[in-house]
Amino acid sequence: MGKNLAIIGGGASGAVAAILASREGLKVSVFDGNSALLKKLHATGNGRCNLGNDYFEKDCYYGDVERAFNIFHRFSPEDTFRFFNSLGLFIKDIRGYLYPLSESAKTVVETLEAEIRSLGINVITNSKVVRVDRLNKGFKLTDSEGKTYEFDACILCTGGNAAPKTGSDGVGIKLALSMGHSIVKTVPGLVPLKSDDEKLKTLAGVRAEGCISLYDENNSLVCRESGEMQFTDSSVSGIPVFQISRVANYLMLDGNKVYLKADFFPGADEAFRESFLLRKLMLHDRNAKEFFTGILNDRLMEVILKEAGVDPLKPCEDIKNDELERVYDLCRNLKFTVKGNVGYDKAQVTAGGIPLSELDHNLQSLKCEGLFMAGEIINVDGKCGGYNLQWAFSSGAVAAEGALNYLKQGR
């Protein structure tokens, strides 16, 4: 066909786009500012690459969700698994979370790299694209060293602002803005929340199962997630906190104050409460500190007794009922202040980005013909659980098909 396509950014979406476009006969070049492609993919899923999920519904996504699902209908999770199978990579299901059979992100990177190599795709590494100019026909790209390249079409796959050490430092978003796009304000997503709570000095390093709820300044419950919470001396973290961080960050961006409440007995009923309160009778010869042995982490217990105003050495039989009620209530509602988030460096995803309303059904720019976009640069982000990679893969595939059709029409 002879038409050439530039993929700017060789991450998850760019790699899939490059492979699918090249298989259809386009001459594809992938630019990446790093010395190798797919740097972020190595770090995904704690090095295991959680690339999908059995549960796949609109409530797993934020941003332009309705339009994103038009893209998922074009290239579905099943299409993604077929794509990986076609590369020889098998997928396994661990309690609904999908991983490569090897449980190694490195093997996903190597599989994609091998296909890119075998298709003869032109890979240009250490080349950060800093300028994109629309020509009469096609585009001129300029990299940070001043080298220029010309292409018939291009796909912007540069990611957002999250984890900039992996290459996605927001330059791609600036390129999109320079081509006439607007942006839905971005905030870090899937990120620990900062807190200046004194009790974190005691809790640093503690992990505890439970439920964490986000409240706004009117004390209204905003959202709630369950799982393992993790505490550092200045942040509240863990997957349930990641899941609610995006919502918290947008509220704070709008000037709202928010706070968290942790429930370490989620789902506990009245019978549990009564047995908790009666425990004091059973353990009458122990002290308040020993009361918790086998129930809660000892440092968590220390914090709760302190907030309840109960001396840890007080004999159980001397603990008054209202003190015990306070202790129980704190186990269900331990409050944490929120003072922002730890920033893009530690975020797994960018919330916000280029609105899908500025791209057509093929992810072609409505502002600049021949420019396509895919991945995290777009205003779509998912919860933890494989949803962000799924978006990167599906949008990369649809943008590749769109670019192919565009170039077939002789543009």
Ligand X SMILES: Cc1cc2nc3c(=O)[nH]c(=O)nc-3n(C[C@H](O)[C@H](O)[C@H](O)COP(=O)(O)OP(=O)(O)OC[C@H]3O[C@@H](n4cnc5c(N)ncnc54)[C@H](O)[C@@H]3O)c2cc1C
Please list every residue from 334 through 353 that binds ligand X, using CB under 6 A: 348-349
Please report how close the Cβ of residue 171 comes to ligand X at its closest, in angstroms: 4
64 binds ligand X (CB under 6 A): no
Of the residues 121, 162, 319, 380, which one makes contact with ligand X according to CB under 6 A = 162
CB of 327 or CB of 351, closer to ligand X: 351
Give the rounded distance of the alpha carbon of 255 from its chain centre: 23
Give the rounded distance of the alpha carbon of 208 from its chain centre: 21
Token readout for 399 is 């943008």
For β-strands 122-124 and 334-337, DSSP reports them as unpaired
192 binds ligand X (CB under 6 A): no
243 binds ligand X (CB under 6 A): no
Q: Which amino acid is at 338?
A: V
Of the residues 44, 230, 379, 394, which one makes contact with ligand X according to CB under 6 A = 44
262 binds ligand X (CB under 6 A): no
Please report how close the Cβ of residue 250 comes to ligand X at its closest, in angstroms: 18
Of the residues 3, 27, 128, 383, which one makes contact with ligand X according to CB under 6 A = 128
Q: Among 10-18, 209-217, 258-266, 303-311, which window interacts with ligand X (CB under 6 A)? A: 10-18
Of the residues 45, 138, 188, 192, which one makes contact with ligand X according to CB under 6 A = 45
32 binds ligand X (CB under 6 A): yes
CB of 10 or CB of 301, closer to ligand X: 10
Please report how close the Cβ of residue 164 comes to ligand X at its closest, in angstroms: 9
Q: Which residues bind ligand X (CB under 6 A)?
A: 8-14, 31-34, 39-40, 43-45, 49-50, 128-129, 157-159, 162-163, 166-168, 171-172, 348-349, 375-376, 386-389, 392
